[in-house]
């Protein structure tokens, strides 16, 4: 027999929520039904439901009844990190070094992603971002020369490819994919880790209006962590 004080009813309803009687976000019975079931007044049920709402266990709407609190799906929001700033915020000096730069036939998947016509070459670059003397991230970059014709001859002795592109082509939108990569021999050599080491990896493709600009893959050195609040 349920204790029919408002506290007793609050705990009885709580127990049924916690036991999974209703789905997250599902409507639970109204004051009338609970009052009948528990043999108490609507006012008492109302007080019990109000207490659960104040705790955040249920949500009540004026005419929408009372629902179990739905699954929170917290929105994460964070700034895509700028490597120079990440390095400098660790109190290290940022540096970067181009390892390879050439015109290349992109592999099929990259050709599709960057909308590069068949038979056309793209600019391909590999570069190393440094924190002091240590590798911080290794970057592979493809650039669509139809969107950014000047990139093939761009002077990248002072500016990074990223900075050069920002000065040349406005950014419209991008797609980001985060994943983990097992270091092959080349990544291991570049990042000074053992082959097979797990590397946090960020892929990013950017567009100017409808035209693909660049696709990069950044392999971060051992121990990197991307952090943000929700």
Where along the sequence are the contacts to a copy of itself (CB under 8 A)?
17-20, 24, 55-57, 68-69, 71-80, 82, 150, 154-155, 158-159, 163-164, 166-168, 170-171, 173-182, 196-201, 204, 224-230
Q: Which is nearer to a copy of itself, 155 or 210 (CB)?
A: 155
Q: Which is nearer to a copy of itself, 56 or 108 (CB)?
A: 56
**3-state DSSP assignment of residue 111:** helix
Q: How far is the CB of 126 from a copy of itself (least distance, A)?
A: 20
Enumerate residues 6+ apart whose C-beta is below 8 A from 172: 206, 207, 208, 209
Q: Which is nearer to a copy of itself, 21 or 37 (CB)?
A: 21
Length of the chain in residues, anyone?
230
Q: How far is the CB of 121 from a copy of itself (least distance, A)?
A: 22
Q: How far is the CB of 41 from a copy of itself (least distance, A)?
A: 26
With b meaning 16 or more CB within 10 Å and e meaning fewer, what string describes 2-38? eebebebbbbbbbeebeeeebeeeeebbebeebbeeb
Q: How far is the CB of 105 from a copy of itself (least distance, A)?
A: 25
* Residue 174 contacts residue 205 (beta carbons within 8 Å): yes
Under DSSP, the state recorded for 63 is T
């Amino acid at each position: 027999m349920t204790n029919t004080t408002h506290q007793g009813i609050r705990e009885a309803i709580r127990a049924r929520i916690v036991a999974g009687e209703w789905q997250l976000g599902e409507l639970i019975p109204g004051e009338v039904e609970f009052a009948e079931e528990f043999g108490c007044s609507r006012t008492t049920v109302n007080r019990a439901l109000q207490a659960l709402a104040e705790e955040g266990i249920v949500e009540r709407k004026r005419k929408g009844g009372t629902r179990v609190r739905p699954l929170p799906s917290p929105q994460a929001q964070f700034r895509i990190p700028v490597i120079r700033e990440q390095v400098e915020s660790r109190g290290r000096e940022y540096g970067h070094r181009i390892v390879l730069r050439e015109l290349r036939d992109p592999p099929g998947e990259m050709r599709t992603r960057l909308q590069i016509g068949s038979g056309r070459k793209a600019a391909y670059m590999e570069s190393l971002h440094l924190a002091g003397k240590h590798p911080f991230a290794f970057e592979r970059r493809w650039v669509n020369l139809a969107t950014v014709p000047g990139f093939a001859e761009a002077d990248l002795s002072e500016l990074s490819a990223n900075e050069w592109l920002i000065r040349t082509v406005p950014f419209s939108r991008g797609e980001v994919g985060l994943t983990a990569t097992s270091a092959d021999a080349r990544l291991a050599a570049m990042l000074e880790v053992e082959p097979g080491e797990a590397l946090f990896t960020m892929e990013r493709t950017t567009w100017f209006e409808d035209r693909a600009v660049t696709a990069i893959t950044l392999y971060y050195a051992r121990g990197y962590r991307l952090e943000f609040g929700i």
